[in-house]
């Protein structure tokens, strides 16, 4: 399968390159960027000897002629125009931006700018691989989930679907490494100010909130709005969500771990941790795993769910390739069997 | 006033040295450690030219003869024996360990070892400076608060006292820098494993939980148990607590900020941030400030409270000196007017 | 003494604020920036309650009327125009930029743009406090040294002056924290790319090279060109220079330490470490110290000199205030007695 | 080929696991540690689902019966006894410790304890893969190089062999991430003291010095002693050596880059950077590359050589597997084609 990447020089794009370079079935056909013609090694010297090819300008027609699958790792607001070009020509598209994840009205409310045309976003399948596998398989257009929603939804799915929780009790305290903010420069993501620091941002206003709520509602129509806080960690890669829910009835930690193990039994990238142990961010670095730990507190009747992912892998490029595998009827894990880098 | 420090070589002790060295009224009389006789510069070369004195062994009688105030920066389980020696001789004692903060039964339940004799812990005043100032003033023995309780309690006090919140809704998501774990070596606090990582620990089991609940109950007898999670941040200094509470009735963020400003109006170390802005950990580094930001979410009726402190300052040595100032009828801020180090 | 700062919002400017705020004799009269009228707390919220004053636009005439001393913490290329305004009115000026440190020809060769008019730079005294104290005392205009030159020159002065080294053998391997690059944004100083990294830059081409060589030549006219490499450390503050020189004759480490101790005996900010110990960057953090360690290798006849400073203190704002103290006949250490923050 | 690892729970051992798990020809037969029987996931939870096998105690006879190749990732002082067991049974051994790299006299002088019996160390081939490939191919026992020597020697080899440098002019300024110090706990490698710091250690006394000199002398018998300084970087992985040599005659940077490119032309893991660009540590993270940049300074006649490696890969486990590939007549790069993780 010939794949092309648009928006290659962002961190999502460059992580796609790392994965696809080592993928047994996908062949990188061409890479594109608004930078136009330059060797990728000029932007990313770590590719010397590995990827001695040039970036090309974004010419959708040319790309369509060359590719079986196109990954869009473009900033918010760009995908709309590109997508229609490709779906008309029956080319599979996986969009890593947030542009196709919400209906138009919701999008505008939270992203504060116009959405793509509803005729496009309606065609997109939400690519939460573990939960929408059948729809992904039959789709030509994937709205690849955001990093925060991926960790949050994988954490909350089993208890939400099983109806075990007070539907208005969800609090998600999320922490992300700086690469999640992308490569564009800002004072908050400069080293001197992000290092030896922890910063909170977009409290209750993050554009990933409606994406989380929309999926939760599909699982359980009673779910109310969620409280969601995002923190900027002084690390490059990695994300943790600490989710809190009120249990309707008493359940021991052990029982809930059993539930999660059953639910995720057939899903190789989800690892449920044994009782009294919890995952750390570094334990999934560079890999496509989402590790989950649980603790039900009998004092408060509240369940604490800790999930960690590599925001550039399971939170972006890794899940995108997982979805591409599913769309192509390949093994879901193909080319994604990276062992976490530790320490 | 002549002050002595016992347990000088831990991070709490060495931060006391930094403060007291520059304090206009307190004179460091002697410094003590189980290490016995060694120059402090051997353990901490950053004191060259500044503190060319020796550590001494811990001889309570000798210390009592020399000192007006004694700071105990000793590990858990040590203070009990030392305290009685000093209070009998009318020497002011400020204990930075957790040993005097809880009644015996609670202590044993959460610390998993024997407490000091109740006759001692009963004499201790809980040294949350902003809230217990009058009792501190009249006390000879202070149980200096833990770092997590300090940030949590300063965050929750105004709404708890005012009865604005559902008393069973409190969730505290706390994050601490590594120095909070002290100087003793462990794999989790080694650089190779703490760096580029975020680790959760003691979920719902941290020994600071009863300390928080006990004080909340004094402010509002209806408060239920709290959900409390601690995370180890890859930073040396600094702590953030993100607290979540359900509001009984609708209040705007602006109204709540006004409430907090009024409550903390006379308290120079508490800084309430303007609406739509939130404090970062680095913005209090090296200082005794506790900065607080608020956001009330009309969608969920939940209030999010962000507080940051330097865990070694307001979370330990800084508050200890603040309490010593209060006990001596000095200006509360004396010797504590450090400008945060930024960046 | 009334002092004003121009270029307040850079990291050098904000460090001047931290120092001057706590200085017993200097009073911050006004602070200026190209940003014009905004509260300093908008740019730097860590100043809440401490500095509730506004930035003002840069109006040299107004500033001159108000101030006894002006600190210029402006980017390269700006000082020239401002300086003449002030020196004509007999106002003391301390310029933290590199603009006044070199004669015009050298400046243009290394900075790659035009220098200030030679009539101005000729008036400036090079403010290496420990070595040019007498000239600084009598001067109205100080070219405050760069961070790299400060550490390098303090390291090399004793052996260079004493003629103990092969004059063509000097190699300086320098490492700086990211704040040294200033607040302007760049990919290399973004967190995601500077963290967990070490980057070399401007190999043999750094504009601080002629500044170092010029001063070395004043101490010893035989000194040849130096080899100088700069590395970007994944830390915010701090700098280390590891300097290598060939000794003309055998000297033991102990003998050389004695020499350094004698030379720096009267200089409170220079701390020579005992044999077999070496300073770390963190051991001077937040302070104005320059700590030096030495090792003479009998196998190679080469001397290794390690020096550490806080690049924003002794490498910039700290030395600037030290020079202001000297110019005003105050105690050199006034307002600069910060204990290093450790850990 | 069945491989076993002894000393699995150190950072070298765990990196071997990461590589070997993904190697197409080597099968991990058994893993051993002084810890005895425990699941590897207890020590390293990032292996959940990937390596659900147990550590076993170190029983050389049992290991010998099971294995074609044994990797020793044991601490200094242990290999000697183990090696004889294996070489007698014709099992290939790759020793990652320093025990077999030096003749007995040199070893004792620098390591300060007894060496293995000379009859053993004499049998070992120094496994600098790029330079000793032929001997490695025919050997049963490899002394795998240290991390510092690998970067230093790959940097210096071309100019040393070509006789282009003053043989007494070599200065190596080396910087290593904390994982290089291993998993054993120490104050210097604790997070609170290593973070936001740079520390120098073992100045001119590091045990890797004789290993470097011995190999340089094999390339050029005139080479004198080297000056060698080691710094502890606040990063987990990665190493940079900045080497300085005096050129006998003038050579342009371009000419020297050509020389290096020719020399390393057939060596896939060595990447010579184009003129005016230099490698950063992060650009080889997680990979087996050694990237080299050069700058010849016409002012001083000195050549600066910058080399970066991942200390756990090319500096330890990666080169060990590269050597195992060579010993087995496999493609040198087999199982080692990791793309660097960036950012």
Structure confidence by residue, pLDDT tens digits, D231-252: 999 999 999 999 999 999 999 9
Does an H or E element contain A271, and which? Answer: strand A270-272
Does this model's pTM top 0.90? My answer is: yes
**D168, D175, D197: residue with CB nearest C198:** D175
Assess D197–A contact: CB distance below 8 Å, yes or no.
no
Q: Rounded CA gap, D319 and B73, in Å?
A: 48
Using CB atoms, list chains with 3+ pairs below 8 Å to chain C: A, B, D
Burial (CB count within 10 angstroms: exposed 0-12, middle 13-18, buried 19+), residue A166: middle
Q: Sheet holding C38-39: strands in order across?
A: C38-39, C54-56, C27-32, C2-6, C69-72, C92-95, C141-143, C125-126
Question: From A181, which residue of chain C is nearest by alpha-carbon distance?
Answer: C192
Provide the mean pLDDT of chain B: 97
- The average pLDDT across B20-49 equals 96
Q: Name chain C contacts of D307, Cβ cutoff 8 Å.
A: none
Classify residue B317 by its DSSP letter: I
Q: Can the peptide bond before residue C177 be classed as cis, meaning omega within 30 degrees of 0?
A: no
- The average pLDDT across B172-188 equals 97
Structure tokens at B55: 């550590």
pLDDT tens for A158-210 read: 999 999 999 999 999 999 999 999 999 999 999 999 999 999 999 999 999 99
Q: Count the Cβ atoms, other than its own, within 10 Å of residue C89.
A: 13
Using CB atoms, list chains with 3+ pairs below 8 Å to chain B: A, C, D
pLDDT at res. D81: 83
**D178, D187, D196: residue with CB nearest B192:** D178
pLDDT tens for A244-261 read: 999 999 999 999 999 999
pLDDT at res. C77: 87
Q: Name chain C contacts of B22, Cβ cutoff 8 Å.
A: 337, 339
CA neighbor of C271 nearest in space, from C321, C213, C333: C333
Using CB atoms, list chains with 3+ pairs below 8 Å to chain D: A, B, C
Question: From D179, which residue of chain B is nearest by alpha-carbon distance?
Answer: B192
Q: Name chain A contacts of B233, Cβ cutoff 8 Å.
A: 198, 233-234
Q: Which residues of chain C have pLDDT under 70?
A: none
- The average pLDDT across D23-33 equals 97
pLDDT at res. D80: 83
Q: How far C338 CA lies from chain B's nearest CA (Å)?
A: 8
Cβ distance D342 to A14 less than 8 Å, yes or no, reads: yes
Question: From D237, which residue of chain B is nearest by alpha-carbon distance?
Answer: B192
Please report where in the chains the tokens 């505290």 appear, as a residue.
Answer: B172
Assess B178–D contact: CB distance below 8 Å, yes or no.
yes
Q: How far A183 CA lies from chain C's nearest CA (Å)?
A: 8
H-only helix segments in C177-290: 191-194, 209-219, 253-263
Give the count of Cβ contacts less than 8 A between chain C and D.
Answer: 138
Handedness of CA A104, A107, A108, A109 (dihedral sign): positive
Assess D343–B contact: CB distance below 8 Å, yes or no.
no
pLDDT confidence band for B179 (50 / 70 / 90): very high
pLDDT at res. B128: 98
Best probe of the B interface among C11, C24, C45, C184, by most B CBs < 10 A, is C45
Question: From A236, which residue of chain C is nearest by alpha-carbon distance?
Answer: C192
pLDDT confidence band for A52 (50 / 70 / 90): confident
pLDDT confidence band for B52 (50 / 70 / 90): confident
pLDDT tens for D147-175 read: 999 999 999 999 999 999 999 999 999 99
Assess C299–D contact: CB distance below 8 Å, yes or no.
yes
- The average pLDDT across D270-276 equals 98
Q: Catalytic amino acids of B?
A: 147
Range of lowest pLDDT (A277-286, C79-88, D19-28): C79-88
| Element counts in chain B: helices (H) and strands (E) | 12, 15
Assess C255–D contact: CB distance below 8 Å, yes or no.
no
Provide the mean pLDDT of chain A: 97
Assess C234–A contact: CB distance below 8 Å, yes or no.
yes
Cβ distance A191 to C191 less than 8 Å, yes or no, reads: yes
Q: Rounded CA gap, D90 and D50, in Å?
A: 31
pLDDT confidence band for A289 (50 / 70 / 90): very high
Q: Rounded CA gap, D211 and D109, in Å?
A: 12
pLDDT at res. D301: 98
Q: Name chain B contacts of A233, Cβ cutoff 8 Å.
A: 198, 233-234
Assess C228–D contact: CB distance below 8 Å, yes or no.
no
Catalytic residue among D147, D290, D298, D328: D147
pLDDT at D77 over 90: no
Residue D142, beta-bridge partner list: D94, D125
Cβ distance C342 to B46 less than 8 Å, yes or no, reads: yes
Q: Rounded CA gap, A59 and A70, in Å?
A: 12
Rounded to an integer, what is the distance from CA C221 to the centroid of its chain? 23
Cβ distance D200 to C281 less than 8 Å, yes or no, reads: no
Structure tokens at A309: 């992912």
Assess B179–D contact: CB distance below 8 Å, yes or no.
yes
**D22, D285, D340: residue with CB nearest A339:** D22
ipTM of the complex: 0.97
Q: Rounded CA gap, D245 and D306, in Å?
A: 12
pLDDT tens for B188-205 read: 999 999 999 999 999 999
Q: Catalytic amino acids of A?
A: 147
Does an H or E element contain D309, and which? Answer: strand D302-309
- What 3-state DSSP class applies to C179? helix
Please report where in the chains the tokens 């990196």 appear, as a residue.
Answer: D15
Q: Name chain C contacts of B343, Cβ cutoff 8 Å.
A: 11, 14, 179, 236-237
Q: Rounded CA gap, C284 and C308, in Å?
A: 7
Assess C185–B contact: CB distance below 8 Å, yes or no.
no
Cβ distance D185 to B185 less than 8 Å, yes or no, reads: yes
Question: From B192, which residue of chain A is nearest by alpha-carbon distance?
Answer: A343
pLDDT at res. C274: 98
Best probe of the A interface among B198, B223, B229, by most A CBs < 10 A, is B198
Cβ distance B236 to C279 less than 8 Å, yes or no, reads: no
pLDDT at A81 over 90: no
**Greatest CA span in chain B, whole angstroms?**
62
pLDDT at res. D69: 98
| Element counts in chain D: helices (H) and strands (E) | 12, 15
Chain B (93-112) residues lying within 8 Å, Cβ to Cβ, of chain D: none
- What 3-state DSSP class applies to C93? strand
- Percentage of chain B with pLDDT > 90? 96
Assess A333–B contact: CB distance below 8 Å, yes or no.
no
pLDDT at A80 over 90: no
Cβ distance D237 to C280 less than 8 Å, yes or no, reads: no
Burial (CB count within 10 angstroms: exposed 0-12, middle 13-18, buried 19+), residue C200: buried
pLDDT at res. B9: 97
Assess D234–B contact: CB distance below 8 Å, yes or no.
yes
Q: Rounded CA gap, C45 and C28, in Å?
A: 18
Q: How far A189 CA lies from chain C's nearest CA (Å)?
A: 6
Cβ distance A343 to D236 less than 8 Å, yes or no, reads: yes
pLDDT at D194 over 90: yes
Assess A291–D contact: CB distance below 8 Å, yes or no.
yes
pLDDT at A129 over 90: yes
Residue B38, beta-bridge partner list: B55
HEC secondary structure over C276-326: CCCCCHHHHCCCCCEEEEEEEECCCCEEEEEEEECCCHHHHHHHHHHHHHH
Please report where in the chains the tokens 């949350």 appear, as a residue.
Answer: B128
Q: How far B44 CA lies from chain C's nearest CA (Å)?
A: 8
Q: How far B200 CA lies from chain D's nearest CA (Å)?
A: 14
Q: Name chain D contacts of B186, Cβ cutoff 8 Å.
A: 185
Structure tokens at B36: 């016995």
Assess D275–A contact: CB distance below 8 Å, yes or no.
no
pLDDT at res. A167: 98
Give chain D's length: 343
- What 3-state DSSP class applies to D197? coil
């Amino acid at each position: 399968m010939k794949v092309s990447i648009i928006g290659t020089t962002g961190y999502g794009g460059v992580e796609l390159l790392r994965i696809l370079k080592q993928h047994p079935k996908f062949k990188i056909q061409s890479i594109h960027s608004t930078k136009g013609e330059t060797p990728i090694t000029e932007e990313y010297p770590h590719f010397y000897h590995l990827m001695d090819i040039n970036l090309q300008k974004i010419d959708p027609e040319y790309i369509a002629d060359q590719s079986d699958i196109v990954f869009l790792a473009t900033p918010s607001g760009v995908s709309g125009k590109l997508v229609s070009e490709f779906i008309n020509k029956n080319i599979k598209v996986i969009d890593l931006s947030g542009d196709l994840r919400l209906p138009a009205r919701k999008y505008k409310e939270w992203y504060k700018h116009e959405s793509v045309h509803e005729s496009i976003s309606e065609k997109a399948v939400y690519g939460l691989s573990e939960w929408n596998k059948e729809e992904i398989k039959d789709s030509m257009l994937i709205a690849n989930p955001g990093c925060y929603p991926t960790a949050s939804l994988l954490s909350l799915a089993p208890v939400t679907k099983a109806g075990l929780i007070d539907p208005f009790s969800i609090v998600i305290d999320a922490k992300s490494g700086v690469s999640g903010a992308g490569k564009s420069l800002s004072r908050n993501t400069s080293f001197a100010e992000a290092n030896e620091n922890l910063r909170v941002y977009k409290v209750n206003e993050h554009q990933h909130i409606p994406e989380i709520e929309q999926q939760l509602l599909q699982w359980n129509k009673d779910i109310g709005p969620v409280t969601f806080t995002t923190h900027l960690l002084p690390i490059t890669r990695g994300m943790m969500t600490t989710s809190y829910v009120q249990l309707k009835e008493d359940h021991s930690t052990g029982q809930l771990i059993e539930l999660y193990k059953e639910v995720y039994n057939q899903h190789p990238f989800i690892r449920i941790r044994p009782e009294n142990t919890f995952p750390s961010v570094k334990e999934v670095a560079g890999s496509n795993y989402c590790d989950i730990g649980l603790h039900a507190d009998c004092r408060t009747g509240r369940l604490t769910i800790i999930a960690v992912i590599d925001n550039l892998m399971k939170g972006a490029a890794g899940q995108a390739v997982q979805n591409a595998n599913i769309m192509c009827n390949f093994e879901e894990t193909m080319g994604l069997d990276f062992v976490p880098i530790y320490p």
